[in-house]
């Protein structure tokens, strides 16, 4: 958008929301607000760095804050009564967390890599919402978007084979990464552990790994590193994602 990529990425382009300037006001949620409202929100936001693997939110804890991820990646999960956890989603820069949680958080959140987030106490949020209706609307859209994501996930988990799930997820991540303004030619950044990805897709780790290997053999993807995946043939992936068999 703003042609001036003033901020030379110190290292990894993913660290700074995709080559985009780090300025708070350039994140999508805030971009959609009117100037006065945006200024008020930016002023209220508290920036905070976090370490790799840091626990950011605990399921069941009082949901008194709203978060926006500025840099890094976060894994969301629910704990089942006894069995191991179920990963319900991932957050990337620009994503909002906590809007869809009423009094208590519905899931836990852990940092995949170190990064930064901006937080806003809900009390303050309510006040701002009274003054600026478009903020309320923006948050409402954030909630419905979370809901839509969960619904799509139901589709993945409810009626897809392993290959379909992986193909669908890769395209989903690709779409999100491009929405963050990343170069479409750049490889996907998937810093989470394979285990988390497997849980997210309702698969066991070996099954996920095998599926990846298969896609690599067939030339649909390539993996420059453990945390990066290049989509070589989006069309084939899209076909695989929708068409049921083979």
Partner DNA sequence: CGCCAAGTTGACAAGTCTCAATGTAAGTGG
Partner DNA sequence: CCACTTACATTGAGACTTGTCAACTTGGCG
Pick out residues in 196-215 that bind DNA (CB under 7 A).
Answer: 202-210, 212-213
Q: Which two tokens stand for residue 213?
A: 């290997």
- Binding partner of 143, given its own copies, DNA, none, CB within 5-8 angstroms per partner class: its own copies
Q: Work out the end-to-end distance of the chain between its first and last CA atoms, rounded to an integer number of angstroms.
A: 41
Q: Which is nearer to DNA, 82 or 246 (CB)?
A: 246
Q: Which helix (H) or strand (E) holds 47?
A: strand 46-50
Cross-strand pairs, 78: 86
Q: Please, which residue, 42 or 205, has the CB nearer to DNA?
A: 205
Nearer to its own copies by Cβ, of 84 and 175: the residue is 84
Say whether residue 136 binds DNA (CB under 7 A): no
Identify the helix (H) or strand (E) that includes residue 179.
helix 162-179
Q: How far apart are CA 147 and CA 152, in angstroms?
A: 9
Alpha-carbon distance of 119 to 105, in angstroms, equals 15
Confirm or reject binding of residue 162 to DNA (CB under 7 A): yes
Residue number with CB closer to its own copies (75 or 201): 201
Kindly identify the residues of this chain, within the stretch 147-176, that bind its own copies according to CB under 8 A: 147-148, 150-151, 153-155, 157-159
Radius of gyration, CA atoms only, the chain = 18
Comparison of 35 and 82: residue with beta carbon closer to its own copies: 82
- The correct pick among 114, 193, 232, 234 for binding DNA (CB under 7 A) is 193
Q: Is 81 in the site for its own copies (CB under 8 A)?
A: yes
Chain CA centroid to CA 40, Å: 25
The residue assigned the tokens 């939110």 is 57
DSSP 8-state class, residue 222: E
Which residues lie near its own copies (CB under 8 A)?
Answer: 78, 80-84, 86, 88, 100-102, 106-107, 140-141, 143-148, 150-151, 153-155, 157-159, 199-202, 242-244
């Amino acid at each position: 958008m703003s042609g001036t990529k003033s901020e030379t990425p110190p290292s990894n382009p993913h660290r700074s929301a995709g080559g985009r300037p780090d300025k708070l006001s350039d994140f999508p949620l805030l971009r959609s607000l009117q100037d006065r409202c945006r200024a008020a929100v930016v002023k209220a936001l508290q920036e905070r760095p976090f370490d790799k693997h840091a626990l950011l939110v605990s399921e069941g804890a009082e949901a008194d804050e709203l978060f926006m991820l500025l840099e890094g990646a976060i894994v969301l999960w629910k704990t089942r009564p006894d069995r191991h956890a179920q990963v319900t989603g991932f957050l990337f820069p620009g994503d909002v967390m906590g809007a869809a949680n009423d009094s208590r958080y519905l899931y836990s959140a852990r940092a995949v890599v170190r990064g930064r987030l901006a937080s806003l106490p809900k009390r303050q949020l309510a006040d701002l919402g009274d003054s600026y209706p478009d903020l309320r609307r923006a948050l409402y859209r954030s909630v419905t978007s979370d809901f839509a994501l969960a619904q799509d996930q139901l589709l993945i988990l409810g009626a897809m084979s392993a290959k379909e799930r992986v193909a669908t997820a890769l395209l989903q991540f690709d779409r999100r990464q491009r929405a963050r303004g990343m170069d479409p030619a750049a490889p996907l950044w998937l810093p989470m552990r394979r285990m988390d990805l497997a849980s997210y897709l309702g698969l066991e780790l070996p099954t996920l790994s095998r599926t990846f290997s298969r896609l690599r053999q067939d030339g649909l993807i390539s993996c420059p590193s453990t945390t990066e995946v290049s989509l070589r043939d989006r069309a084939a992936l899209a076909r695989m994602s929708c068409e049921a068999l083979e």
